[in-house]
Amino acid sequence: MGYRRVLSFGWARRDTLAVVVIALTVSFLVGAAVLGVALGDQTTTIAAEYETSYGIYETPQDSSSSTALTLTLAETTLDGQQVPVVGIPRDASALTVRGETISLPTPERGALAAAAYQRPESRLQSDASGETVSIRSRQSNSFIPDSWYVTDPATAASFDHTTQVTIRSVDGRAATPLLSALEFFVRGAGELVRLLRLATVAAGILVAVTIYSVVQITVRERRPDIAVLRSTGATPRQVLQLFALRAVTLTAVGTAVGYGFGLILVRVVVNAAIYGGLPTSLSAQISQPVLSVLVPAVVLFLVVGGLSGLLAAYKGATQEPATLAKPARQTADADTSRFAGLLETCSGFLKTRLLGWEALVPTASTLTVFMCALLLLTAVAGAVGPASDTDGQTITQPDAPHPIASNVPVVYADALRSQGAAASPEILLFEVHEGDPIVARGVNFSAYRELSGVQITEGSAPNQRYEAVIGADLARSSDLSPGETVVIGGSTTASVARFNITGTFTGTGIQDDQLLVSIPAAREMGNIRDDSVHFVRTRGLDRETAATSTLVATSARLRNVNNRTGVSVAVTNLGLSEATREFEIKLGSTVRKRSVTVGSQQSTRVFVPFDETPSGTHTLAVGEITKNVSVGGPNGESDSLSGLSISAPRTAPTNSTPAVRISHGDTPVANATISLGAQTVTTNDRGLARLALNSTGNATLVATSNGERATTTVTVRDDAVRALTLDATVSPDAPSIFTRPKATVRAWNPWAETVQSSLRVTGPSVEKKRPVTVESGETATVRARLPRRPAGSYTVEATTTAGQRVTATYTVQGDDRLGAALAQSGRYTGGGGITQAIQVAFGNIEVLVLAVVALLSVMTVGSTTAAFTRAVHTTKREIGIRRATGASPWAILTDVIVDTLKIGTTATVLAGVIAFGVVSGLLSVGELRVFGVVLEPVITPTAVVAALVGGVALAVISATLATAGMVRKMPASLLVDRHIPVPEGSGERRDA
C-alpha cells in the first residue's frame, strides 16, 4: 500500500506546476463565467420592465383564440410618399401589455384614417381593385402609430405589398415579441452563456494536455517502481487505476484552488476598474446561471483529467516488467511519432539539437486554444474598437441610467453642424426577429453615413419612413437581403413595424451587425418624443468654446409690478444640466445685472426694476434681444414705439359703424378720444368706441390720449364686406435654433353682428386651417407651434376667406458657440453610441476583456510549460551527460531555445490554421454571436504577425521555464533514474 500511496498521492515539483496550470484554467473560466453572466444579468435587469407575453407571427395562426389579433399590413402612395396601411377587424379585442389595456382604433370600410393626417377629407384610388377610398383624420392611439392609415382588412387587402400578421399571447418566449427589449437581453445572455460553455471545452483541452504531460513524466520516472509492482502481482488495470486516481487528484486540487483564485481575481479586476475610473457596475457573485456553466465544467475537467492520466500511463502500465526495468532513454525514440520523425528527416533546418518533436502536438493543442481566444478577442476589438474611436464623442442625458432612458433634443445635431462638426442623432432599438437578437438603430442615414463612413454595397439608401438598410454581417446571419420585408415589434413600447429593406451596407466593427431605420419609425418603436433622440454622436467639435452658457433670454418686456417700472425677462435653459448665468439688462443708459439659475430644459421669468427711467423711447437690450420701447404710457410703461396704437378695419361698407380699439401695447386705453372729421367719440374701459362711416372714400381716424396721438385710415366702399380684423404675433421675441416659436393669430370682430369665416395660418413647414364664428366685439384666437429652424428670418401669414391678410416676421438667432456648450451640459464622452451602450448599459465590456486577456496569457504559458517539461524530461540523461562533459547551463538553454523556435513556429502555424478552421466552423453554424453581434475575427497582416510572434514567444517562455530548473541541478542527479522510495525509518533518504 505504501507504493500505491506514493504513486497516487506522492508530490513533486512538476505536480505543483500541473495544479497551477489547472487552477489558472479554472480561474479563467470562473472569472469569465461570473463577469459574463453578470453582464447578461445586468442588461436583463435594465430591460425587465419591458416584459410582454405577446408574439408576432407572419405565418397564418389560429385567430379563434380571444388573445389573437390578425392585422393586414399594406402600403400605398400619398402625395408622393409611401404610407403604411393597416387593416384591423372591427371586433378586435384589446391588448393588455405591462398591465395597461390598449384599445385599437375602430376601422371604417372604404376609408383610410391617420392621426397625422390633418387636412380636409380627400379621396384615393386603391392599388389593386381601383376602388376609391376616403382619406380622413382619426384620434391618436398608443399602439397604432399616428402615421399609419387604419382601415378594415378588406380595404387594406386592395393595396400593394399586403402581409398578414397575427399577434397572440404565448406561454413561453416569442420568436418575434411585441415588446422586444427584455427578450433581446435574455437571448443575448443565453448566447453569452453558450459561448462560455464553448470556452469550457477549450479549457478541457488545456487540462488534458497538462495532466497528460505531468502523468507521463511520472510514469517515466516510476518505470522501475511499476516494474516491481508488476513483478509482484499487480495487474495493468490496477496500475492504471493508481495513475488515474493521481490524475483526478491533481485535477481536483487544481480545480478547487482555481475556483477560489478566480473569485478573488474577479473582485480584484472589478475593484481595479472602479479605482481606475472605468464605469462598471458588474457584480462578482455566484448565481444559478454561473453554476450552470461551472458545475458541468468541473465534471468535464475531472473526467478529462482521469482519461488523460489513463492514456499517459497506458503504455507504461501494459509493458512487460523486463522492458520497464530498462533505462527510460532506451525507449525514448519509440515515443516519437512517425509524424515527428518525418519532420526531422525533411530538412536539416528542422532537425533539433536536444528536444524531440513529440512536444509539437501538446504545444499546438495549447496554442490552438490561445489562437481561438485571440481570434475572438480581435473580433471584440474589431467590433468595439471603431465604435470607441476617441475622435468621436457621444452626448447623452446626464442623469439617464442607460442610453435607452436618455432623451436629447434632436436639434442639438443642427447646432453642432452649424459649428462645422459632423453630428448624427440616433435612437437605439433592441429587437428580436425569429429568435435572433438584432441591434437596430434609428438614424438620419445621410448624417450617419457622413459620421460613420458606411457604404452601400447592394441596393440603395433608404428615403422613406419605413425603409431600412441592413449591415452585411447581419444580412448573412439572418438571411435577410434587399427587396425583402421584415416585421418586428417595438423595442421599449408595444408596436408592430414593417420595413422594406432597400440595401446592404458595410462599415467597420459592429456597424455591420445593425439594421438602420428612420428616426421617425424608431421613435414609434421606442416611445421617444417627436423632438428627441437617445443620443447625438459627433466629431470635430471645438470644445474650447464650451464656456458659453446654455441659458438664453427669449423675451423681454416692460412691466409695472407693484407700482415699479422694470423689465420682465424670460430665460430658458437649453442644456441638459442645471446652469447659471449672469445677464446684463440695459434700458437706455441704465444697466442692471442679474444672476439666474434654471434647471435642465426649464424656463423662468425674472423681474428687474428700473425705477428712475425717464419717460420716452429707450433701447432695451438683454442677451440677443435688442428693441426700442416707450416708457410713460397710461400705466407707466409700454412696449409700443409710439406708445399709442389704434386698431380698426382696413375696409368697411358704407353706413357701417365698426368698433375702434385704442391701446398701449396689450393694455386697453380708456377715455381716449377718436376723431373722424367733425365726429368725436370716447373709448370705454375696454378701449373701444364705435364710429359711423357714412360716406365712401378714405376715412382718417385720429386717436389722442395724454398728449399722445395715433392715426389710421379705413377705406369705405359700397361693396366692402364685414370681415374680421387680423393680428399676428410670434413669441418669444428672440427664438433660437433650439426653441419652437409659437404663432398667435387673433381675429377680432369689430362689427355689430356675428361674422363667420375660415382662418388659415401658414408658416415654415406649418399649415393650419380653422373655421371660426366670432360674436360682435369678441376675438377668436388660433395658435400654431412652429418647428425649430436654422438661423434666419421667417414669416407667418394669416388669411381669411374674405381676403384679409396679415403677416408677422421673426428672426431665429444662431450662436455657433452654443453647440459646444450644449454638448458639455450632457454626458459628453469619447466613443460612439455603441460604446455608450456597452459601457453604460452592458456593464463595461472592457473589464471583461481585461480579465480574459490576463488569465488567458498566464494560463497558456502554464499549460505549454507542462508540455515542454515533459519534452525536456525525456532528455534529462542527455542533459546530464552534456553537463558532466563541460557544457554550461546557458549552452544547454540556448539549444533548448533554438529547438523551441523550430517547434514553436511549426506549432503556432498549425495552431493558427486549426483555430481559424474551428472559429469559421462555429460561425457557419450560427455560434459566436452575442447580443446580436457576430464575433467575426478581423484578419489583418498585423494581426497575423502579432499572433505568430505571440505564439512563438509563449512557447519560448514555456520551454525556458521548463528547462531552467533542470540545468541548475548537479549532473549526477540527472543521470540517475528515480527508484522506489524506501520505507520510513530505514535511514535512507527519499529521492526528491
Task: Give the CATH fold of the 549-638 domain.
Answer: Immunoglobulin-like (2.60.40)
- Do 864 and 360 touch, CB atoms closer than 8 A? no
- pLDDT-derived band at 702, boundaries 50, 70, 90: very high
Domain 722-814 has CATH 2.60.40.10: yes
Mean pLDDT of 402-414: 79
Note the pLDDT of residue 987: 40
Report the predicted TM-score, pTM, of the whole model to 2 decimal places: 0.69
Of the candidates 880, 851, 872, which has an alpha carbon nearest to the alpha carbon of residue 955? 872
Mind listing the pLDDT tens digit for each residue in 807-855? 999 888 765 556 666 666 665 555 544 444 444 434 445 555 555 655 6
CATH superfamily of 644-720: Immunoglobulins (2.60.40.10)
- Do 608 and 594 touch, CB atoms closer than 8 A? yes
Handedness of CA 840, 842, 843, 848 (dihedral sign): negative
What amino acid occupies position 283? S
- pLDDT-derived band at 600, boundaries 50, 70, 90: confident
> Three-state DSSP class for 356?
coil
How large is the C-alpha radius of gyration of the chain? 41
Distance CA(838)–CA(846), nearest Å, equals 9
- Is the pLDDT at 48 greater than 80, yes or no? no
Of the candidates 305, 286, 304, 379, which has an alpha carbon nearest to the alpha carbon of residue 31? 286
- pLDDT-derived band at 875, boundaries 50, 70, 90: confident
Distance CA(457)–CA(507), nearest Å, equals 10
Phi, psi of 811 (to 5 degrees): -120, 125
> Three-state DSSP class for 22?
helix
Mind listing the pLDDT tens digit for each residue in 556-585? 888 877 778 889 898 888 777 788 889 999
What amino acid occupies position 771? P
- Is the pLDDT at 527 greater than 70, yes or no? yes
Q: What percent of the chain has pLDDT over 90?
A: 18
Mind listing the pLDDT tens digit for each residue in 849-862? 555 655 666 667 77
Q: Give the DSSP per-residue string, 888-929.
A: -HHHHHHHHHHHHHHHHHHHHHHHHHHHHHHHHHHHHTT-SE
- Apex 296 CA angle, 295 and 300, nearest 5: 120
- Is the pLDDT at 39 greater than 70, yes or no? no
- Is the pLDDT at 183 greater than 70, yes or no? yes
Of the candidates 241, 247, 246, which has an alpha carbon nearest to the alpha carbon of residue 229? 241
Of the candidates 364, 17, 363, 15, which has an alpha carbon nearest to the alpha carbon of residue 215? 15
- Is the pLDDT at 341 greater than 60, yes or no? no
- Is the pLDDT at 468 greater than 90, yes or no? yes
What residue spans define the domains of the chain? Answer: 2-43+183-383+840-974, 85-169, 389-544, 549-638, 644-720, 722-814
Lowest mean pLDDT among 330-334, 552-556, 766-770: 330-334
User: Over the chain, what is the mean pLDDT?
Assistant: 78
The residue ranking higher by pLDDT, 984 or 710, is: 710
Same fold, 644-720 and 722-814: yes
- pLDDT-derived band at 326, boundaries 50, 70, 90: low
Cell of 795: 414669416
The residue ranking higher by pLDDT, 725 or 184, is: 725
- Do 793 and 811 touch, CB atoms closer than 8 A? yes
Note the pLDDT of residue 1: 45
Note the pLDDT of residue 67: 58
Cell of 591: 444697466
Cell of 768: 393650419
Note the pLDDT of residue 151: 92
